[in-house]
Amino acid sequence: MKPFQPGTILCAVDGSAGTAAILRWANLFASAFRARLEIFHADWWEPPRYFTVAQMEALLGQADEHRRAAEEHLRKMVQETLGPSASYTIRVDSGHPAVLIPQRAQALPADLIVVGSQGRTGLARWRLGSVAEDVVRAAEQPVLVVKGLTGQTQQPEVKTLLCPVNFTNLARECLGVSSAIAEALRAQLVVLHAAEQADTDLEQMHRDLCDWVPRSVRGQCEVAEFVRRGPAAEQILLLAREKAADLIVIGAEHRPLLEALTLGTTTERVLRHSEIAVLVVPRNPA
């Protein structure tokens, strides 16, 4: 397993009320791993197509002023949230966040991206297009998606993290990421395998799971293995609530564009329905 030791973290924020929660999570990881932290804001605007050249020039001037104002607002918010002792840099670029965030992550390069998701209910959960989901699809680095932004007012704490596995190479990569985080944050690691076939011998599968977890992982943190029967996404969310997990670490296969627009994968369902933070590890992290 490739060691997870992020040296640079990109924290993408939009300046809204949920920004403070995203900043706290990014700072938690930056402090735990002694990583460089860049706080990034994409100042996006789209002029009407019917604007004349003169109107466009005037609007561009206003956009520059807006970008400077956004940077000053963000600077004050970061200072108020993280305090004077925190170490970070701030950058504001003009453009769509779903495009600029992965580009900036590559340019740094970043080892971890932190973004926020306001969370959606009902049918809205099944609509694509959120910036967080777009970043997860495009990024070559692990992406930490912070959930429940407006309800978080305290410094986040990770006491228990959940890592679902399916015995693939990507699952082993996620396990390595999870154990490194658990060690850095002194958390318990819960490893889950969801058996979706009705005829699976759960006791034997539990033994197989215990054998599959490397000794190196057990040497880093406290580990507990669980095997549950049922749809993977459902069992992941249920066990996360049962164990009062603070973070889910799950893998995601990068797929062709048309396939990426379809619904139904375990990772997409967990990402959309989870009430806690989700760290998504791509198949080939940079």
Q: Which residue has the tokens 């996360």?
A: 240
CB contact at 8 A, 14 and 41 = yes
Region 94-111 average pLDDT = 95
pLDDT interval class at 65 (50, 70, 90): confident
pLDDT, tens only, 121-147: 443 333 334 899 999 989 999 999 999
Gap between the Cα atoms of 133 and 16, Å rounded: 18
Please report the DSSP string for 30-99 in residue order.
HHHHT-EEEEEEEE-----TT--HHHHHHHHHHHHHHHHHHHHHHHHHHHHHH-TT---EEEEEES-HHH
**In CATH terms, are 8-151 and 160-282 the same topology?**
yes
Gap between the Cα atoms of 84 and 78, Å rounded: 9
The pLDDT of residue 47: 53
Query: What does the block give as tokens for 68?
Result: 């400077």
pLDDT, tens only, 155-213: 899 999 999 999 999 999 999 999 999 999 999 999 999 999 889 999 999 999 999 99
Of 82, 93, 73, nearest in space to 37 by CA: 82
pLDDT interval class at 1 (50, 70, 90): low
pLDDT, tens only, 235-286: 999 999 999 999 999 998 765 544 444 434 899 999 999 999 999 999 764 4
- CATH class of the domain comprising 8-151: alpha beta
Sign of CA dihedral 228, 179, 177, 272: positive
Of 16, 21, 29, nearest in space to 146 by CA: 21
Q: Which residue has the tokens 């459902």?
A: 234
Query: What burial class does residue 260 get, using C-beta atoms within 10 Å of its C-beta: 0-12 exposed, 13-18 middle, 19+ buried?
Result: middle
Number of C-beta neighbours around residue 2 at 10 A: 10
Higher pLDDT, 127 or 13: 13
The pLDDT of residue 149: 78
State whether residue 223 is helix, strand or coil: strand
Mean pLDDT of the chain: 86
Residue type, 20: A
The structural domains of the chain, with segments of one domain joined by +, span: 8-151, 160-282
Angle at 133 between CA 60 and CA 14, to 5 degrees: 40
Percent of the chain with pLDDT over 90: 66
Topology at the third CATH level for domain 160-282: Rossmann fold (3.40.50)
Helix, strand, coil share (%) of the chain residues, nearest 5: 45, 20, 35
